[in-house]
A = this chain, B = another copy of it.
Amino acid sequence: MHVALIQHAWQNEKEAMRRKSCEMIAESAYKGAELVVLQELHQGPYFCQYEETHLFDLAESFEEDMAFWSGIAKKYHVVLVTSLFEKRTAGLYHNTAVVFEKDGSVAGSYRKMHIPDDPGFYEKFYFTPGDTGFEPVDTSVGRLGILICWDQWYPEAARLMALKGAEILIYPTAIGWFDSDPEEEKKRQHDAWITVQRGHAVANGLPLVAVNRVGFEKDESGALDGIRFWGSSFACGPQGEMLAEASTEREEILFVDIDLERSEEVRRWWPFLRDRRIDAYDGLLKRFID
């Protein structure tokens, strides 16, 4: 399966942002991609750097957004993984990945389940934790385990997708550095982000792709300087082996061939699912065991 991971910067307005994505999708399709994955909240800025009620306006266009990306998937005949700001009703919003089939139909969607909240990433203000559960989306290119950003840090999320038969793990994401952090801290964060995801691939014997934003986005509130999104979109195989990795600074389409059949072989040698101690995992349903 030929996959395109589309990594780009905020273009200062939504139309320009859509244009950028669409140009890259067109090139991806032209070069044979069947599956195209966009970064988290790819239509807009990463707006969660501060809390303002007017920013919920960004979700008002959800229905139109759906129609627009449906049209793009159909036009380029690709399975398209989008990341949208969903208004469900007044006061109820989600960070939602909608997957479109090659004919433009909705294959399925996933509402971000784990919501972060730390300085510069005030997502708990904006996003209601998802109620979709961890359900893969069936498409013509395979059963896709879509998860979003903060989900990346949770082995539970990856495992549940694997237990439901996902054939690949896919993470649209928006993560970066604060320029004020020391270099060694930046390195630790960046390495941790890659490592924990490669770990999910290994533990589940599944390939994985992560698509991250790139470029600097100012904190318009002035409270912090802003976030330097670190790009580094990547793909790894079911032993966690790196297949492709994008730069930390440039916009780019990262193409990668992923062989979904490889998991069968890897899991025959390393049959981790066989030996799970489900009789002893009750504690996983607890917050803490004290």
The answer to whether A276 and B287 have CB atoms under 8 Å apart is: yes
Q: Does A159 contact B (CB under 8 A)?
A: yes
Given known A114-B277, A277-B129, contact A156–B284 (CB-CB < 8 A): yes
Within 8 A of B (CB), among A235-290: 237, 239-241, 269-273, 275-278, 280-290
Contact of A284 (CB < 8 Å), options: B240, B241, B281: B281
Q: Is A221's beta carbon under 8 Å from chain B?
A: no
Partner of A278, one of B133, B153, B285, B290: B285
Asked whether B196 lies within 8 Å of A159 as measured between CB atoms, the reply is: no
Q: Is the CB of A153 within 8 A of B203?
A: yes
Spot the interface stretch: A12-20, A56-64, A98-106, A186-194: A186-194
Chain A's interface size range is 35 or more
- A183 contacts the other chain (CB 8 A): no
Question: A115 on the interface (CB 8 Å rule)?
Answer: yes
Name the one of B200, B237, B273 contacting A288, with C-beta atoms under 8 angstroms: B273
Stretch at the interface among A21-29, A38-46, A85-93, A160-168: A160-168
Bound Cα distance from A285 to B155, whole angstroms = 14
Partner of A191, one of B191, B241, B278: B241
Q: Which residues of B contact A155 (CB under 8 A)?
A: 155-156, 159, 199-200, 203
Cβ of A94 under 8 Å from chain B: no
Judge whether A108 is part of the interface by a CB distance below 8 angstroms: no
A4 contacts partner chain B, Cβ-Cβ < 8 Å? no
Q: Judging by beta carbons under 8 Å apart, are B195 and A163 in contact?
A: no
| CB-defined contacts of A196 to chain B, threshold 8 Å | 198-199, 202-203, 240
Residue of B nearest to A115 (CB): B275
1/0 per residue, CB under 8 A from B, across A108-152: the answer is 000001111010000000000100011000000000000000100
Q: Is the CB of B288 within 8 A of A281?
A: no
Known: A240-B191, A240-B196. A160 touches B281 (CB 8 A): yes
Query: Which partner residue on chain B sits nearest A165 by CB separation?
Result: B290
23 examples of A-B residue contacts, CB within 8 angstroms: A113-B280, A118-B269, A118-B271, A153-B270, A154-B276, A155-B155, A155-B199, A156-B277, A156-B281, A160-B281, A160-B283, A160-B284, A160-B289, A165-B289, A192-B202, A195-B202, A196-B202, A197-B199, A199-B203, A273-B287, A278-B286, A282-B285, A284-B284
